[in-house]
Structure 1
């Protein structure tokens, strides 16, 4: 049986002023439907480049991406991306920022359905009461929640998150992580998330993909996180399995950092 999402021998080389630069080499990963995958590694290891290839925003030089037995060749609503920058349109309200995506993807539906669906997705991230506010009137964490609602409203097969909480304070980040866990538990969506946060990776993920350093970066190790769901960060704070998984990722990152410094 084929994987729901398959990244197969992906590599990408860019042409620069000093000649070709190989950013990724032979990256292969199979993801089952409903899995939450975190991708972690040092800056410059090609995490965002890999996510952009899955999103169809960049074309691989070698290999390819298969989603539900169809090759990914361009961006599409079956893959929604949430970036670290919320990318909301500042002149539109919270409601209209989400409704814009709903109208684009679900244009065959009637207006009443699209209205209800917009409100439903805002309710998933607890932003329905801020419908009439504009992005400049809400906090950074609230903007990210709207960005997630907009992505979810497209009903993507895969939700792609590029450090969505990286610019937020620790308390806001924790609240949004809890909200994302709740949404994932409820919807069972397939998620690929880039992060630099070890605790975030262990808390949220079914598997953690650890990237080696670039250039020509590839997957160095995959760690299965066998913690039962639903998860509560308070319960996991002193959990031996959680502590073990966290230590494994830290050892990997520290080891690769040492190798880079010695090079």
Structure 2
């Protein structure tokens, strides 16, 4: 039997609770992700979405279970998993170019020449349409542009898995839509493996191959996994009249609504 590209197996996580003891955030989380898939994880606040992403990133160590990436255990951060957070996390004293180049130098200093690293930095900024702002610093560009730079920095590391934690959550609706289209186009061109946390049902359906729906916390786990049966490339305007799009959207909304109405069923 072929092993999945990214395997999340029986993952459980606990944190210290107020007044002592432990609070169980995640329990028995099992998920197999194939190479090139775009996976969205959705659920109500407190269901452990970001905790799960941080475990895959190696920023947290699960209490039980484990993560395998290409059959190798994940137990620490590494350049094979790049994270894009809701906050862009750019270094304010560096230019747009320098923020991305810093990651390129860190990962490829022994593999690419100085010229090749320069070209690679510019290539990834071109992917997110930021070549016009190479010399600007973060305070000189918009929030959406900062997120573009954060995505370019992550892609420049050539990660096996791109992890995104609500990357568009702090943006206005128009900027959010533009960045969704950018990410969708990049995924179409690169065929990269993506795991994204979101609260936005429409975003999940638009971008994903599968949507992982989490039960309510505490002791959250995967409730359902929906395969989004929509061909790529996806056009958001055409999808507005697509019955398959509305069917997927309704399925996610129904799950989330029922979990909200009946939180006891999430245990």
**2:80 pairs with 1:53:** no
The residue that corresponds to 1:190 in the other structure is: 193
1:160 to 137, 152, 163: 163
- 1:2 correspondence with 2:9: no
* Residue in 1 that maps onto 2:145: 142
Gaps of 5+ in 1: none
Q: 2:134 aligns with which of 131, 134, 149?
A: 131
Counterpart residue number, 1:210: 213
1:14 is displaced (CA, Å) by 1.2
- C-alpha separation between the residues in 2 aligned to 1:13 and 1:92? 37
1:157-194 alpha-carbon deviations (Å, 9 max, x no partner): 00000000000000000000000000000000000000
What TM-score do the two structures reach when normalised by structure 2?
0.97
Q: How big is each residue's C-alpha offset from its partner over 1:20-56, in whole Å with a ceiling of 9 and x where there is no partner?
A: 1100000000000000000000000000000000000
Instruction: Check the 8 A contact 2:259/2:265 in 1, yes or no.
Output: no
Q: How far did residue 261 of structure 1 move? A: 8.5
Partner of 1:242: 245
Seen in structure 2, the aligned counterparts of structure 1 residues 262 and 29 have a Cα distance that, compared at 3 Å, is: closer
Q: Which runs of 5+ in 2 are unaligned?
A: none
Structure 1 residue 15: Cα displacement: 1.9
Q: Any idea what SS the aligned residue of 2:262 has? A: helix
* Structure 1 Cα separation of the partners of residues 217 and 184 of structure 2: 31
Matched residue SS, 1:49: helix
C-alpha distance in 2 between matches for 1:181 and 1:61: 34
Q: How many residue pairs are counted as aligned between the two chains?
A: 263
Alignment-derived partner of residue 71 in structure 1: 73
SS of equivalent residue, structure 1 residue 193: strand
SS across alignment from 1:159 = strand
User: Structure 1 residue aligned with 2:235, among 225, 228, 232?
Assistant: 232
Question: Normalized against structure 1, the TM-score is what?
Answer: 0.99
2:40 is aligned to 38
SS in 1 for 2:231: coil
2:225 alignment counterpart: 222
Separation of aligned partners in 1, 2:250 and 2:256: 10
Q: Distance in 2 between matches of 1:231 and 1:165?
A: 18
Which one is further off, 218-227 or 252-261?
A: 252-261
1:262 shift after superposition: 9.7
Runs of 4+ with >4 A deviation: none
